[in-house]
Structure 1
C-alpha cells in the first residue's frame, strides 16, 4: 500500500512538473513572439508641422520626434526609419501598408477604427489665423465661408472646416504649414488654419512677428497621437503605450523644451 501510494504521488508530482514546465515554456514562446514583433522594422512617416515635427539644419526634430526616440530607447529597440512626406501621402501609406506608422495624427471619431493609437503626445487647438491689419472679425460661422482659407491638405483642420460646411472652392490646399503662411503673408488668402502652438513656433522659425496676427475663430480641439497601421499586432501597440506611460517625466521635459503651452500638454 505504501508503495502504491508512493507511486501515485510520484505520478501526481510528475504530471504537475510537466504542467509547470509546459506553462513556463509557453510564456517564453509568448515573450519571444512579442519581442520579435516589437523588433520588426516599422517605417514611420512624418509631415513638416512644427513644433511636432520639422527639419532644422537637415535634422528632423520636434516634440513627437523626440518622444518617439525616447520610446525606442526605453523599449531597447533600434531607431526605426522616418520618412518626411506630404501629409496626404503619409496618411495613405499608413492606411494601406503594413508595418507603417504616421505622426502626429489627431485622433477623431472618423479615424478611430482606421488606425491603432499610441499617445496622446500633446493636445492642439486649431484656429483661423488672420492679419490684424485686415480687420476681420466674425459673429457667425457662416460669415467665414465668404473668405479664402489656406489649409494643409488632408489635415484634421481641413476636415473640420469641411464638416461645418466651409466651401471647398474657398479653400487653398497646401502640402505643408509653411506654404499656408506664405500665402497668408502674400495676401493670397484671408486666413490660415493652424494650431496655436504651431503658429507660434512657425513665427520663431521664419522670423516674423506673431503679434501682427490674431486668432479669430476656434475650429476644434483634439488630442494628437502616433498612428499605426490597423494590422499592427496589439502586443506591439500595448508595449509602445506602456513605454509611453513609463517615460512621462521625459515627455514633460520635451514639451517644456519646445515651449508648448501648458494647456496643450
Structure 2
C-alpha cells in the first residue's frame, strides 16, 4: 500500500514537472534601451518588445506587455543568469556570453562604440589609448565587458546603472567618452536636448546582433519553438514587407 501511494505521488509530481511551460509563462526582463525596448508615457514599446509580442501571437501564447519587467541592466542581467525560466532582451550576443545563455534571434544588428564630443578632438589609434580617458559605462553592459576584454583598466571607467546619468555626465564633461550601443547613446543624448551631430564615434568595440537571451535552465525545446516563430515572422510570400520588417520600419 505504501509503495502504491509513493508511486501515485511520484507520478503526480512528474506530471506536474512534465507540463510544458508556455512562452507566455516565462519571465521577460528588459531595460530602457531605445529604440529597441523602452517605456514612454507609461507605455512599453520598441523593436524588441513588438517582436516579442508578435512571437507570442505566432504561437498562440499571448505575451502581455504588462508582464514584461523593466529593470536597471545590472539587475536584469544577473537575474537572467541565475533565475530559471527567465529571458533577457535586447542582449548583444558576444563570445564572452555565448555559453552562459541560450539564444533566439537575431532581432537586429547593433554597433557598440565609444562616443566623444567632436569639440574634444579625441583620436583613438589603438585600444589601450582609451585608458587615459574617463569612460562612462553601464555596469555589466556589453560596452564595459568589451573594454575589459581589451585590457582597459576599471580605474578608467565611470560606472552607472542608468544611461541617462551617463548622457548628462558627458554633456557636462564629467566623462570624456561613453562606451555604449550607438543608436541608444544618441537617443539619450537627443532626449537631453543635444544635437547628435556634435558627437562622433572614435572607436568601434563590436559590430554584432541583438538577441533574446534565455537562462540555461529554460527547456531548449521552448527556445527552439521561440526561434521558429521568430523566423516565420521574417518570411513573406507575396513580395510585401514581412511582419518583422513592418515592426522595424515603425522605429526608423
TM-score class, shorter-chain normalisation, is 0.7 to 0.9
Q: Which structure: greater helix fraction?
A: 1
Q: CA deviation at 1:176?
A: 2.6
| 1:38 counterpart residue number | 22
Contact 1:67 1:254 (C-alpha < 8 Å) held by counterparts:
yes
Q: CA deviation at 1:37?
A: 2.5
**Alignment RMSD:** 1.8
| 2:105 counterpart residue number | 119
| 1:250 counterpart residue number | 243
Question: Based on CA coordinates, which of the two structures has the bigger radius of gyration?
Answer: 1
| 1:194 counterpart residue number | 180
Runs of 5+ consecutive residues of structure 1 not aligned to the other structure: 1-32, 260-265
Q: CA deviation at 1:82?
A: 0.9
Q: CA deviation at 1:79?
A: 1.5
Contact 2:109 2:209 (C-alpha < 8 Å) held by counterparts:
yes
| 1:144 counterpart residue number | 130
Q: After alignment, is 80-89 or 193-202 more displaced?
A: 193-202
Give the 3-state SS of the residue equivalent to 1:194 in structure 2. Answer: strand
- TM (norm. structure 2) is 0.85
Runs of 5+ consecutive residues of structure 2 not aligned to the other structure: 1-16, 235-241
Deviations 1:205-264 (A, max 9, x none): 3432101111111111122100111111122111110100111122212222211xxxxx
| 2:80 counterpart residue number | 94
| 2:6 counterpart residue number | none
Structure 2 Cα separation of the partners of residues 88 and 82 of structure 1: 16
Give the 3-state SS of the residue equivalent to 1:37 in structure 2. Answer: coil
